[in-house]
Amino acid sequence: MSRAQFDFRGKVVLVTGVGRAGQIGNAVALAFGQAGAKIVACDRNAIGVAERVREFAALGVEARPCAGDLTQPDIAALAVEIALKHFGRLDVVVNVAGGLTTYGVIEQIGADAIDREIAINLKTTVLVSQAVITALSRTQGCIVNFSSIAYFHPQAPMAVYSAAKAAVAGFTRSLALELQDRRIRVNAVAPAMVRTVDNVAAAGEEGAQYVEMQEITD
C-alpha cells in the first residue's frame, strides 16, 4: 500500500525520537505529515528536533517540537499539552524513541548501561503511553510501539537490548487489552535492521538484509 492511499487530514500524530535526520522517527513523522497529519515531534535533542520541524515546514507539514527527556513523566505530559494547545486533539502516538546501546558481551555491560537501555526503550514507551490515554480516549485513537525482531529472534551479543524490546512487546499486548474498552488500539511493529546511515556504517552495505525505510513508513 503506497503512502498516497492514506489520508490523515484532520488528525494529529505524536512521534518520539524525531531529532535525527535519516532515522526512523524522522521518517515516520514526515510520512504522517505528508499524508496530511499535523505533527508533534519529540526528541531529547532540542536543536535536532527544532531543525526537523523547520524541514517539515519547508515541505508543507505543520508540526510543533517537544524537546526533553521522555524518561521523565513531565516531558511526556508536555508533549500531550503541546498537541492539545496547538492542534486541539491527539489521534495517533508512535513510540519510536529507543535504540541499541549495549551491544557487547554481557560481562562487560555495567549497571548504568543496563538502566539506560531499559529507560530509552521501555520507560519512554510506558511514560508516553500513560500520558496520552485521556487524549486518545476522546478520539478513539491508537498507539504504535516499536519493538524489534530481536524479540522473536534473539541474537548475541545484545541480551539487554533483546530484553528491553521483549518488554516493549509484552507491555504492548497487555496495554491493548487494558485499553480496549476505551476504544484505544495498541499495536507494535518489530522490524529487522532498518537501512539507516548509522546501521549501514555499523554493519556494512551487505552486512544485513535491511528493511527499507519506506517499508516502515508505509
Specify whether 161 is catalytic.
yes
CA-nearest of 165, 168, 171, 136 to 151 is 165
d(C-alpha 61, C-alpha 51), whole Å? 13
From the list 125, 97, 129, 102, the residue with the least C-alpha distance to 113 is 102
Least Cα distance to 40 among 136, 168, 140, 173 occurs for: 136
By the 8 A CB rule, do 37 and 92 touch? yes
Q: Using the CB atoms, write b or e for 102-129: b if 16+ within 10 Å.
A: beeeeeebeeeebebbbbbbbbbbbbbb
Whether residue 116 contacts residue 101, with contact meaning beta carbons closer than 8 Å, is answered with: yes
> Which residues fall within 8 angstroms of residue 85, CB to CB, at 6 or more apart?
none
Taking a C-beta distance cutoff of 8 angstroms, is the pair 70, 124 a contact?
yes
Which three cell numbers mark 42? 519529540
Distance (Å, rounded) from C-alpha 117 to C-alpha 94?
19
Residues assigned a catalytic role? 161
